[in-house]
Chains A and B, each alone.
Chain A
């Protein structure tokens, strides 16, 4: 594990470095506070740090405060080293953000034990962060396809439409539905159906730009949001998605299966006075036009009169 040793006295620094290297640590040694901060803010920084209290440039207390002011960074376990040993000074060190405190001359075994404590706390912190990230992912993604789930993709759509209204740009909303999916499930079983959905998710995701968004909207329905899109190319891009799906059969745990999708498309420019619900209803209607037209084709949503309400005209 990497560890920072910040100590201005050469002899103390060399002794500490040697002792920690013998204990298996990868030591980064610096001789002042400014270099400590630079090392702790570098890429792949040490997560453990031994800081001398009295140092030139910035002292150990200032380094602690600086490190703790960056709450977005991974946690660093800070141990202050000093010959100051009054309760007031120890409290000052801990209040500045140090996790632990060792008075000089320190006992080597005690130092190593305290470092092991630091490692345990960092490990716990990493596990907590990982658990939080997993929970966040589960709350926002569809478990089968790992795409955005319906709640999130609708929220993203609302945000993109508001932005396109502000910027006078165009957001393209594409709703895709797998043709005859019920037959796939009935004939081959749900596992094969799941393989198709996973494969389709991957294929859609790979066919859009990195800043476009793809979500699972329902059982076999997928919503694609193309932001800042040229309105003239919207239908072509939707047609490309349809073609990329129909082009090659999808590998499954059994045999590859040919799959097609029907596609409804709406352009935000056409729906300036409509709310999100109305836009989604229009694109859904376009999708069913594509189904009625024989499937495996693309249809554009028609602008309808916004629903009359008692409120002022509502935009998304």
Chain B
């Protein structure tokens, strides 16, 4: 349970490799409180879903100021949960929106979608495992 859940390929030459989601680090921050972990992941599942939907709408409407704010919220949420890869994608989205670069924002949102596609099953697995 305390190992990183990501199956992402890791460089053999890297001295320290950052997992996509460091659940061990998160649990340390939560003082191994698994009930609280469920509470946080439940909030994340609900809030991130809404924020990603908002981001898509804002990008479609070319509303980059609002997109910047939404990406900022996502970034904070993901950093709190030590979701490195998704947080980096949200950060890229935020900076692209801040620079009003629609093309870069589009790419960044695709990256964020990919990160979320990988992350959400892991979140569900954690929720199931902890509940059992």
List the B side residues contacting A15 at CB < 8 Å. Answer: 40, 80
Residue among A9, A22, A54 facing the most chain B CB atoms (10 A cut-off): A9
Can you report 28 A-B residue pairs in the complex whose CB atoms are below 8 A from each other? A8-B73, A9-B47, A9-B73, A9-B77, A10-B43, A10-B47, A11-B40, A11-B44, A11-B47, A11-B77, A11-B80, A11-B81, A12-B77, A12-B80, A14-B43, A15-B40, A18-B30, A18-B33, A22-B31, A54-B69, A54-B72, A83-B72, A83-B75, A104-B76, A104-B79, A105-B79, A105-B80, A108-B29
Interface residue? B39 (CB, 8 A): yes
Least Cβ–Cβ distance between B64 and chain A, in angstroms: 16
Contact, CB under 8 Å: A18 / B80:
no
B interface, size bucket: 10 to 19
State the CA gap A14–B29 with chains docked (Å). Answer: 13
Range class of the A interface residue count: 10 to 19
Chain A residues with Cβ below 8 Å from B80 are 11-12, 15, 105
- For the complex, give the distance between the alpha carbons of A315 and B30 in Å: 75
Residues of chain A at the chain B interface (Cβ within 8 Å): 8-12, 14-15, 18, 22, 54, 83, 104-105, 108
CB closest chain-A residue, reference B28: A108
Q: A8 — which chain B residues lie within 8 A by C-beta?
A: 73
A-facing residues in B14-36 (Cβ within 8 Å):
29-31, 33, 36
Least CB separation from B82: chain A residue:
A105
State A11–B50 Cα separation when bound (angstroms).
13
A8 to B76, CA, bound (A): 11
Chain B: which residue is nearest A105 at the CB level?
B79
Question: A174 to nearest B CB, angstroms?
Answer: 69
